[in-house]
């Protein structure tokens, strides 16, 4: 049965989608477990949301590439909050725009370890608590890059095709339990994503020039809406793009 105040764990809550989801779900009365490597950011956000909404917020350091870090984060969150109902496996990144044969190991490993291994480690650690609660929802944050590959994106796209596969597998694996599984798959959204990917703030700004991209809040609203639907309704997959982006490659830029 749906709890009055679902307890939601969000990885990558120090920025972008994760931060926006935390704000949006706190306003709905959800209690939160917020994690990222930049722990000072999630702690500041937690303080703000506790004061603004009177919800319980656990904030912890987590590096989703490392099993011990994820396990400790989840254990401490459950100890603090008492349970877990919703997992948002959001932490992720693109690193570089290299052609496949140029991709440095550093970027390859960052994307595979965060976007694939980190998601498995997060769900693996947190799902037993959701199953124990008997009501829950797992959100994967995929991408349009998981539906359509593009040049310079071979590894990133492969990881997001992988996220789509994980969502499909998990939905089959928990069938028969009251656990919904959704992949929210956005197109271009202005967050720190391009700054991280391109390692150059001017180049990152140019990505969105002449376009009105999605905001982090737009994506947070997709998660909020999906979560608030009646318990028997599962949105399997939600592809959401700004109106200027017709496909991964097809972006209209206004003069």
Binding site for ligand 8X3 (CB under 6 A): 143-145, 153, 187-188, 248
What amino acid positions are annotated as catalytic residues?
A: 156
Single out the segment in contact with ligand NDP by CB under 6 A; choices: 2-10, 14-22, 80-88, 172-180: 14-22
Interaction of residue 183 with ligand NDP, rule CB under 6 A: no
CA distance 43 to 168: 33
Q: Is 122 in the site for ligand NDP (CB under 6 A)?
A: no
Return the residues of window 55-74 that contact ligand NDP according to CB under 6 A. 62-65
Sheet strands side by side (includes 237-240): 57-61, 31-36, 7-11, 86-89, 136-141, 179-186, 237-240
Q: Which residue lies nearer to ligand NDP by CB, 50 or 65?
A: 65
Shortest distance (Å) from residue 214 CB to ligand NDP = 7
Tell me how crowded residue 40 is: count the other CB atoms within 10 A of its CB: 11
124 lines the binding site for ligand NDP (CB under 6 A)? no
Among residues 8 and 145, whose Cβ is nearest to ligand 8X3?
145
Q: How far apart, in whole angstroms, are the C-alpha atoms of residue 85 and residue 95? A: 31
Site string for ligand NDP, 77-116 (x = CB under 6 A): -------------xxxx--------------------x--
Residue 196 binding result from ligand NDP, ligand 8X3, none, given CB thresholds of 5 to 8 Å by partner type = ligand NDP
| Residue 6 contact among ligand NDP, ligand 8X3, none, beta carbon within 5 to 8 Å by kind | none
Residue 185 CB, nearest distance to ligand NDP (Å)?
Answer: 7
37's contact among ligand NDP, ligand 8X3, none, with CB below 5 to 8 A by partner kind, is: ligand NDP
For ligand NDP, the binding residues (CB under 6 A) are 11-18, 36-38, 62-65, 90-93, 114, 118, 141, 143, 186, 188-189, 191-193, 196, 216
């Amino acid at each position: 049965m749906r709890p009055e105040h679902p307890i939601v764990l969000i990885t990558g809550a120090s920025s972008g989608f994760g931060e926006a989801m935390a704000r949006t779900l706190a306003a709905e009365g959800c209690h939160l477990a917020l994690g990222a490597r930049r722990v000072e950011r999630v702690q500041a956000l937690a303080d703000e949301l506790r004061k603004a909404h009177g919800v319980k917020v656990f904030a912890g350091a987590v590096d989703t590439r490392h099993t011990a870090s994820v396990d400790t984060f989840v254990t401490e969150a459950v100890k603090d909050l008492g349970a877990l109902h919703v997992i948002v496996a959001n932490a992720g990144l693109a690193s570089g725009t290299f052609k496949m044969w140029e991709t440095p190991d550093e970027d390859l490993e960052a994307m595979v370890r965060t976007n694939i291994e980190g998601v498995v480690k997060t769900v693996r650690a947190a799902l037993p608590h959701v199953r124990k609660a008997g009501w829950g929802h797992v959100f994967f944050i995929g991408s349009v890059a998981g539906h359509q590959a593009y040049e310079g994106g071979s590894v990133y796209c492969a990881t997001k095709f992988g996220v789509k596969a994980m969502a499909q597998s998990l939905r089959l694996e928990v069938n028969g339990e009251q656990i919904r599984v959704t992949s929210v798959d956005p197109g271009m959204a202005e967050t720190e994503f391009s700054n991280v990917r391109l390692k150059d703030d001017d180049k990152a700004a140019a990505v969105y020039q002449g376009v009105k991209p999605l905001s982090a809040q737009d994506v947070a609203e997709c998660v909020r809406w999906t979560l608030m639907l009646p318990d028997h309704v599962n949105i399997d997959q939600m592809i959401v793009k700004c109106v200027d982006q017709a496909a991964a490659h097809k972006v209209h830029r206004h003069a």
